[in-house]
Structure 1
């Protein structure tokens, strides 16, 4: 649905270009949750919104969305392997929130392209 689209590849490239943001200097204020926990929380919230905004999605389409999110989480774990378990900073949280919103936009675009279900 989205992981095979150019937009997703551009977002992954955007993330890799900003990996320096995830190198946390000791002097920065850290949150209690890790980088990966923030990604998981934000992506979960976005997908709940996607499904809530599209009640006409079939069970199969919702399952496709869930499988796609699982694939995205896997990709993030691979890319962020060295920092996934580090406590997040405020700047990282802002980036994660923005990135998760962009992922939601990809889903919104793909769902809009689906033919209406009769």
Structure 2
């Protein structure tokens, strides 16, 4: 659905190009959330929004969306393995929020095609 599309590949490249944002020790955390926890929370919120905006999705389609999100989280765990458990900084919060919104956009595009 999403993970096999060019847009997703570009987003993963975007993330890897900005890995320096996650490197090094950061003492300016405003929250107890870790990098991976915030990614998971943001993605969950975006997917809840996607499903809420598309009530005509059937059970199988919703399950496919959830499986895709699981695959995305797995990819994030792999890419961010060395920094996943660090406390998140304000700059990282901004990046993660933007990244999660871009993931939502990919789902919006694919769901629109699916429901035509």
Name the TM tier (shorter chain).
Answer: over 0.9
Distance verdict in 2 for CA 1:52–1:115, change over 3 Å: closer
Q: For the residues of structure 2 that align with 1:113 and 1:33, how far apart are their CA atoms? A: 35
Name the count of aligned residue pairs: 115
Q: Displacement, 1:23? A: 1.3
Q: Deviations over 1:70-110 (max 9, x none)?
A: 00000000000000000000000000000000000000000
TM-score by length of 2: 0.96
Gaps of 5+ in 2: none
Cα RMSD after superposing both structures? 1.0
In the TM superposition, 1:1-118 aligns within 5 A as 1-26=1-26, 28-30=27-29, 31-116=31-116
- Answer whether contact 1:24 1:89 (CA < 8 A) is retained: no
What TM-score results when the alignment is normalised by the length of structure 1? Answer: 0.94
Quick one: distance in 2 between partners of 1:59 and 1:83?
35
CA distance in 1: counterparts of 2:44 and 2:103, whole angstroms: 11
Distance 1:58 1:104 in 2: 18
Deviation at 1:8, TM superposition (A): 0.1
- Structure 1 segments of 4+ aligned residues over 3 angstroms from their partners: none
Contiguous gaps of at least 5 residues in structure 1: none
